Structure 1
Amino acid sequence: MGRSQETFGKKEREKKRAKKKEEKERKRLERKANAGDKGDNITYMDVYGNFHDTPPEAAEKVKAKNIEIGVPKGAREDEEEDGLRKGTVTFYNESKGYGFIKDKKTGQSVFMHVNQLKEEVKEGNLVSFETMKGPKGPSAVNVQVMR
């Protein structure tokens, strides 16, 4: 009779595969049997950011109508006063004819163009100006150096 075509290594690999398959099936059946007694997987967080397994005793109720979505009324840029503003010229390029003013009140950077200047300005000058909405954000209009 002829020898078996399987070698010792092949037989061992087959045994390992069969053992893994049996173990996997056993674990699957175990999970299926224990499916009815699943624990509570909810975690609660208190106002300080600490996690707990128990729900808080007295939780504050939040009404949906009290939740503000978006920018609060009165804080929009369009609705700001159109009066004179004060600021400092942070950058100005004379050859290209544009620069930026840092608004003292809001701290935002406002674009200025040479066509909107009433007199010459330099970096570091304290200026008064009005704003208008430009294509890429607020633009300074009627820019004057304060003395």
Structure 2
Amino acid sequence: MGRSQESFSKKEKEKKRLKKKKEKEEKREERQANSKKGKGLDEMMAYVDEYGNILDAPPDPSQKETINSEDIEVSVSKLEKAEMNPIRKGVVTFFNDSRGYGFIRDLETQESIFVHVNETDFPIKENDRVTFEIAKGPKGANAVSVRLT
């Protein structure tokens, strides 16, 4: 007769495996019993007040404020069109001849505006007084139609 192939350590490992499986099953059943699934729509709803806080109850409609959409400013405030002259005056503060670009300091707003050599009809250098127009570029304002004054 042959000896049994099960040793003491194999039996212990099997007991541990079954115990772990049983504990895992108990935890799963406990989670299912305590789960919040299947609750009503009212319990799942959340509301946001005017300050961005999350609430359980809907906000009071009598305290609701009406806001005119034209009063909302998302970015830089708009300048009056009457104030803005399309032809601006400025001084070249930096210009790199080898790369063909530089910056002009606007004398009215003190803004630094990018200028490229393709927008000039003549060579410019630092400290030149120029007139120019502003166009919107991919990275901000660009000076176009640059002329010496």
- Equivalents in 2 of 1:52, 1:112: separation in Å? 54
- Which of 10, 16, 19 in structure 1 is aligned with 2:20? 16
Aligned-pair distance for 1:133? 7.2
Contact kept, 8 Å, 1:117 with 1:144, in 2: the verdict is no
- Equivalents in 2 of 1:133, 1:36: separation in Å? 54
* Structure 1 moving runs of 4+ over 4 Å: 1-4, 36-39, 60-63, 117-120, 131-137
- Equivalents in 2 of 1:120, 1:19: separation in Å? 82
Q: Residue type of the partner of 1:25? A: E
* Pairing 1:76-87 to 2, within 5 Å after superposition: 83-87=86-90
- Equivalents in 1 of 2:59, 2:137: separation in Å? 51
Contact kept, 8 Å, 2:130 with 2:146, in 1: the verdict is no
Question: What TM-score, normalized by structure 1, do the two folds share?
Answer: 0.56
- Which of 81, 92, 99 in structure 1 is aligned with 2:95? 92
**Percent identity of equivalent pairs:** 31
- Equivalents in 2 of 1:54, 1:106: separation in Å? 52
Matched positions, count? 131
Q: Mark the CA change 1:37 to 1:140 in structure 2 (over 3 Å): closer, same or farther.
A: closer
Question: RMSD in angstroms over aligned alpha carbons?
Answer: 4.3
2:44 maps to: 41
- Equivalents in 1 of 2:118, 2:16: separation in Å? 85
SS in 1 for 2:18: helix
Question: What TM-score, normalized by structure 2, do the two folds share?
Answer: 0.55
Q: Mark the CA change 1:51 to 1:110 in structure 2 (over 3 Å): closer, same or farther.
A: same
- Equivalents in 2 of 1:41, 1:56: separation in Å? 16
- Equivalents in 2 of 1:115, 1:26: separation in Å? 74
* Pairing 1:59-74 to 2, within 5 Å after superposition: 59-60=64-65
Q: Which runs of 5+ in 1 are unaligned?
A: 76-80
Aligned-pair distance for 1:135? 9.3
